[in-house]
Amino acid sequence: MSKHKEFITKLSTIGDELVIEWDDGKKSRIFSHWLRDHCQMPTSVNANNGQRLFSVVDIPEETYIDQVYKDEKCNVCVVFQPENHLSVFSQEWLRKNCYDQNLQFDDRSEKQKHLWQKYSFEDGLPFVNYEDICKDDNIKLDALRMVRDVGFFILENVPIIEGQVLNVISELGYTRETNYGTLFEVRTEINPNNLAYTNMGLGSHTDNPYRDPVPTVQLLHCLESSTEGGDSVLVDGFKAATVLRQESEEDFDTLTRSWVNYRFTDPSTDLRSRVPMIELNDNNEIVKVRYNNRSIDTIHLPDNKVRSFYKAYRHWSEIIERDSLKIIFKLSEGDLMLIDNTRIMHARTAFSKEGKRHLQGAYTDLDGLYSLLNVLEARQQNG
């Protein structure tokens, strides 16, 4: 392989665009302002941290490409006027970043996920051994990829010690403290402020839709489990939303466009939000679901929208309780389940008064987990 692999065969300009012809026959057309804005020179981005040193208004509105040529290292040199500014781009950078050859990337989108349903885990649920993620970054990376792709994993052999859930979080990101504490005890209480703290069954839900921003990851660590029942149920909320879209585009649209109020109150708390049950990105791809029938506040909708909302809401609620979408298992003592709370709905079956069931829960956020995933992935790629 030659040192400077030639993969741009021709450079030219047409109007306000740079035209690149690639050796695989592809052609890119890049708007002059985009190119000037993405200048990689040390006067444009800090050489140490890569942060941009100017704002878009610093680029003259009348910017145009005056000259374009390759230097002796085959980098692409572009001279912009009226600044008389030279930008040098590597061919690799241009190919990796130019907007017409690279699809918009959104690691939260349904497009980046492996959607699943009841029979998707015939080879077994995504179990990971706790000690392994602590000792081996490659296994930690695999676990983080499971969060990204299927939305959850179950850690096994987590020491059955109170507070351990916070040690698990510190392996992956940062604890998200809420009114429920840095961690919370999920067990039967007298006079609970939340139905989670009873032996009742809980329907499929995401946690804390009444909080904005919502905690994006939930962990539940099983310390004691000797009751009848109390099984865990998970549903892929993105899959459920795609089923709704297939069955009724109209109902799907209604839920993405109807923002509902959620609320949680106790004597020292009053949390309120107004959010859609299904949230889309700018490409109409599902990026978040929120659902918790226990916490929906008074529904305020315009008169001409209330009937279609109830039709869509009923349809959605019916889909997320379908057996064909559910996986059901029982957390054993020492198991810890970690779930993407923007995607995966969880539920539990009712449990007996006899015996004991004690989970410790806590929240963290996806930003920290994805950041670690990206760092570990880059480290793995660079050997």
Q: How far is the CB of 198 from ligand NM2 (least distance, A)?
A: 11
204 sits near ligand NM2 (criterion: CB under 6 A): no
For the chain, what's the residue count?
Answer: 383
Site for ligand OGA, residues 360 to 379, rule: CB under 6 A? 361
Of 130, 156, 165, the closest CA to residue 334 belongs to 156
Q: How far is the CB of 296 from ligand NM2 (least distance, A)?
A: 11
Q: How far is the CB of 184 from ligand OGA (least distance, A)?
A: 7
340 sits near ligand NM2 (criterion: CB under 6 A): no
Cα 182 from Cα 180, distance rounded (Å):
7
202 sits near ligand OGA (criterion: CB under 6 A): yes
Question: For residues 85 and 79, is the Cβ–Cβ distance under 8 A?
Answer: yes
Q: Which of 18, 183, 207, 252 binds Zn ion (CB under 5 A)?
A: 207
Q: How far is the CB of 298 from ligand OGA (least distance, A)?
A: 23
DSSP H/E element including 254: helix 249-257
- Output the CA torsion sign for 263, 266, 267, 268: negative
By a kind-dependent CB cut-off of 5 to 8 A, residue 108 interacts, out of ligand OGA, Zn ion, ligand NM2, none, with none
Q: Which of 207, 251, 335, 365 binds ligand OGA (CB under 6 A)?
A: 207
Residue 13 carries which side chain, given as an amino acid letter? T
- Residue 59 falls in which region: left (phi positive, over 0), alpha (psi -120 to 50) or beta: beta
Site for ligand NM2, residues 347 to 376, rule: CB under 6 A? 361
336 sits near ligand NM2 (criterion: CB under 6 A): no
Counting Cα atoms < 13 Å in the Cβ hemisphere of 222 gives 23
By a kind-dependent CB cut-off of 5 to 8 A, residue 180 interacts, out of Zn ion, ligand NM2, ligand OGA, none, with ligand NM2
208 sits near ligand NM2 (criterion: CB under 6 A): yes
Q: Which of 175, 232, 256, 273 binds ligand OGA (CB under 6 A)?
A: 232
DSSP H/E element including 92: helix 91-97
Q: What is the DSSP string of 331-377?
A: PPTT-EEEEETTTEEEEE--B-SSS-EEEEEEEE-HHHHHHHHHHHH
DSSP H/E element including 270: strand 269-276
Q: Which is nearer to ligand OGA, 232 or 256 (CB)?
A: 232
358 sits near ligand OGA (criterion: CB under 6 A): no
Site for ligand NM2, residues 279 to 308, rule: CB under 6 A? 292, 295
153 sits near ligand NM2 (criterion: CB under 6 A): no
Site for ligand NM2, residues 161 to 180, rule: CB under 6 A? 180
Whether the bond into 213 is cis, omega within 30 of 0:
yes
110 sits near Zn ion (criterion: CB under 5 A): no
Cα 265 from Cα 271, distance rounded (Å):
6
Question: For residues 17 and 29, is the Cβ–Cβ distance under 8 A?
Answer: yes
Site for ligand OGA, residues 159 to 198, rule: CB under 6 A? 186, 196
Q: Which is nearer to ligand NM2, 246 or 268 (CB)?
A: 268
346 sits near ligand OGA (criterion: CB under 6 A): yes
Question: For residues 261 and 318, is the Cβ–Cβ distance under 8 A?
Answer: no
348 sits near ligand OGA (criterion: CB under 6 A): yes
Q: Which is nearer to ligand OGA, 76 or 359 (CB)?
A: 359
Q: CA angle 294-300-303, nearest 5°?
A: 135
Structure tokens given for 322:
């379908």
Which residue ranges make up the site for ligand NM2 (CB under 6 A)? Answer: 180, 184, 186, 194, 196, 207-208, 292, 295, 361
Which residue ranges make up the site for ligand OGA (CB under 6 A)? Answer: 186, 196, 202, 207, 232, 346, 348, 359, 361
